[in-house]
Each structure stands twice: as C-alpha cells, then as structure tokens.
Amino acid sequence: MTAPQASPLLITPAPPEARHVVSFTQDERLDTGRHVQLVNNKIPVGLLFEGSLDVPLLERCLEMLGRRHESLRLCFPIDPAGNVLKVLPNLGEPLRVESVEDTEPGRRLEHALALLAEDAGRPFDLAAGSLFRRMVVRVDETTHVLCMTMDHVNIDALSVRTLIGELLTLYTALAKAEEPELPELPVQFPDFAVWERNYLRGATLARLMGYWRRRLDGIDPIPASGLVDPVGGVDGPPKLIKLSTFVDARRASAMDAFAQSAGTSLISVVGAAVKATVWRRKLATMDDEAAGDVALFGSLGNRTRPEVEHLVGYLATVATFRTTFDRTTSFEELVGRVGRTLWDALRHQRIPHSLIMKELGHPQYGARYRDPAAMPSYLNFDVLDYAVDTFSQPPGLSVRRVVLPMPEVPRGGLRVLGFRRRNGISLEFRYRSDRYSATWARQFLDDLDRVLVLGVDRPATRLDELFDLPAGRR
C-alpha cells in the first residue's frame, strides 16, 4: 500500500542540502538593498528593567534564544549563483554592557537611550553577520535598559513579541533555578523558506497571482495615497512626526460591539474610518470616482500554519487593501466592504508581496529598500489588536518596552496605527515633515476620530452626511 502524500500546506523540516535558500521577501531585500543601510531596515527592541537585574543571567537567556531560533543566527554570504542563507554556529558578538552612572541623575535614562540608539544604528554586514546585536546600559543599581537590534531581513513584528515573551520566560525560570517551559519548534525559518519555494509554483502560484492581478488592476502594487497637503511640509531633512489620540474604554467597547454586530473586527471598523477620511481628502483634488477608489498599504502576519506559530523570522508580508465606494455608501456598508477586503487578502496572503511584484515585473520591486525620498506617497495602516504593552513580569522586576530615539522616516509619508491598550485604543498618526504640515496632519487625525464617533453611533449614515457635504458636490 502506498503511503498517503503529505499535504502541500504542511511545513516540515527540509533536507540539510536544501536549507540554504532564502525566502522571496529576503530575495527582494538582497537583490535591491543588500548594501543599503536605512534605519527602516533595522528593528531595535528596547526593554526597561526596573528592579534587581542579574545581567549575567540576562546574557545567558539571550544566548539560549540564539540557540533556539536559527533566524537570529542567519547571514547571507555573497554567492555568484544567487542569494543564499547560512546559519552561523553562535551569535558572534557577546552582550555589550555599558554604564551611565557618571552622568547627572536627571539625564541618565536619556543618555542610556542615546547610547543604545547609537549602537542600534551601526551598520550590519548581511554577508558575514551577526544580525542580532545585544547591548544593556546600567542607569543605576535598580535600572537597566536592554536593546536587541536585529536586521529586518530576519524578523517581523510578531517575532518580536515572541522574543520578548520567551526572554522573560527564560529569565523567570532560571532565576528560580527551574527548567524553562517553552513551546516546541517543529521547524526553523530555513525550513519555511524551502517550503515557500516548493509551494508557490505551478497551479498554486497561478491561482494566488490571479487574485492579486485582479485586485491591483489599474493601480501600483505600492499604491499612491492620492493625499496632498496644498501647503506642504517644512524645508530640511524629512523627520517622522507623531500625533496621537486616545479612544477611552467606553468608546472602545462600543466599537467592539459594533464590529461584532457587523460580523467583522476592530481593524475593519478603524480601517473604514481611515478610508473615509482619505476619501474626503481626495475629493479636493480629483473626481468622485477616483476619490472613491482607496487603496491602503498594510501588513499580514502570513502565519497560516500551526508549525510556525512560535517561529521567529520574517514571515509577514505587506499587502494592498483596496476598497471602492462613493458618497452614498453608509459607514456600516463601508465597514462591511473593508472587512471583505481584509478577509480576501488573508485568504491569499501566502504569496508575499515581493513575489507578486516580481511576477508582475513591476518597477517598484525593491523600492522599500532604496532611497526613501524616491518612494511614492502611500498610506500605511495597521491595527495591532492586542495589548502590546503587557508581558509577564519576572519576580522582583518590572519590565516594559521603551522607544529609542532613532531617526525613522515613514517610507510612504503617512502611517496610521491602532494599538489595543488595557483601558482603550490608542490611535497614532505618523507623517513626513517635508510632505505634510502639522495643521494638515492634525485635521486628518481629528476627522478620523470624528468619523469613528459618528459612524459607530449612527452606522446607517451616508459618508457625505458624516462630513456634512452637500449631495452631489465636493
């Protein structure tokens, strides 16, 4: 009797001779930006430890993470035959330890963050590695700051949460002289890369590409937002400016209840409000039909198999979320359309954006890894529908994430982020200072918040009524 064939969806350990291939997303970076050193291509993760931190134990835990996850030991040697990856035997550089205790007490944390940002900004050598750098700064006896800096070619946002959670789990267990309990890893990232190459070909590739060809018909894979500030930004090097507003627990509960009644999720509700706000702005420079074709750029986790649930690596992919509507569309209808757009994208997320562009032969291939000034003005939108600021705390320590003062510039010019918090939802609007003014950005965020209030309270309201627009006129 012939044994049944394994499902092509099943990700299994690859044979040793095959574990040198890179993923399609890594291919794009290596093809077009191997030697480009942008802040956007790094992921620095800052953690503030308050309490009695055992630094040697912390270093031991970091080394254990390195042994557990091959993606933290990947590099990409130059090979005439094409892009390849290599798993290094260890993490290379040891944990770097510095102190700022000789600094004036009121400025120590600021100095520590600046030192970490400087270290995080050091170039990576993708060919030789290591691409996982660790540094801890002692602020005083009970305050330390750790930064783990990784190149984005090896890691995504969901992996960061996994790393932080496992680091604190390891530290807690070893501090108690207990055996750490971490989930098993059926596969490593090189196994995923081999599976991806085998899966995305033939009929499967044609089917997935067929969907995205239809969705991208008439627009670029990295879609222009169509948003223009007539005043413009300020002269000088572009800076990242952040504005925020907070949705309290009462409103957040109403948004969740509305999403549930509409058979969708929070991200669809916020996404509909973002698209309505974009539509209103586009009406100032284009006709109704063009204004009602709204495409945002966002991220998909691409973790569709249980084998990769706890895997650290760069599995996520960006995607284009395109929805069409007009002034007579109600907010409730728009939420439904945005939800279907998201659902369809999730069903077709196994093909990464990099491969879509390569199959299309599009000139935007690799654009995100080159000069940010040459990027089109697109709007990136993501809602992180979980409490990003909560982690289990080791005994005797309080640990929280901190942001390093890195000179990040949003590639597309605009970004809307939603963060689920314990007591509500934080909405953040980021914009490029050289393309948009503070007044324009504040009005955009205020309009977004207003649409969420009115749309959730009166979901049957037409979009032109939400913005008090005369029927049939801009």
Domains of the chain: 16-191 (3.30.559.10), 221-392+400-466 (3.30.559.30)
How high is the pLDDT of residue 213?
Answer: 97
How high is the pLDDT of residue 474?
Answer: 42
How high is the pLDDT of residue 196?
Answer: 97
How high is the pLDDT of residue 6?
Answer: 57
User: Residues 314-361: pLDDT tens digits?
Assistant: 999 999 999 999 999 999 999 999 999 999 999 999 999 999 999 999
How high is the pLDDT of residue 39?
Answer: 83
Written as six digits, the tokens of 277 are: 């706000």
How high is the pLDDT of residue 22?
Answer: 98
**Is residue 389 very low, low, confident or very high in pLDDT (cuts 50, 70, 90)?**
low
How high is the pLDDT of residue 146?
Answer: 98
Q: Report the chain's mean pLDDT, rounded to a whole number.
A: 92
User: Residues 424-468: pLDDT tens digits?
Assistant: 999 999 999 999 999 999 999 999 999 999 999 999 999 999 998
Rounded to whole angstroms, the Cα distance separating 390 from 161 reads 10
User: Residues 370-388: pLDDT tens digits?
Assistant: 876 677 789 999 887 554 4
Rounded to whole angstroms, the Cα distance separating 198 from 200 reads 6
Residue 92 has pLDDT above 50, yes or no: yes
User: Residues 266-323: pLDDT tens digits?
Assistant: 999 999 999 999 999 999 999 999 999 999 999 999 999 999 999 999 999 999 999 9
User: Residues 403-413: pLDDT tens digits?
Assistant: 999 887 767 88
Q: What is the pTM of this model?
A: 0.92
In angstroms, what CA-CA distances link 433 with 175, 229, 298, 400, 437? 46, 11, 21, 29, 7
**Which of 73-82, 139-148, 363-372, 392-401 is predicted least confidently?**
363-372
> Residues of the chain with pLDDT > 90: what percent?
84
**Is residue 231 very low, low, confident or very high in pLDDT (cuts 50, 70, 90)?**
very high
How high is the pLDDT of residue 3?
Answer: 47
How high is the pLDDT of residue 224?
Answer: 93
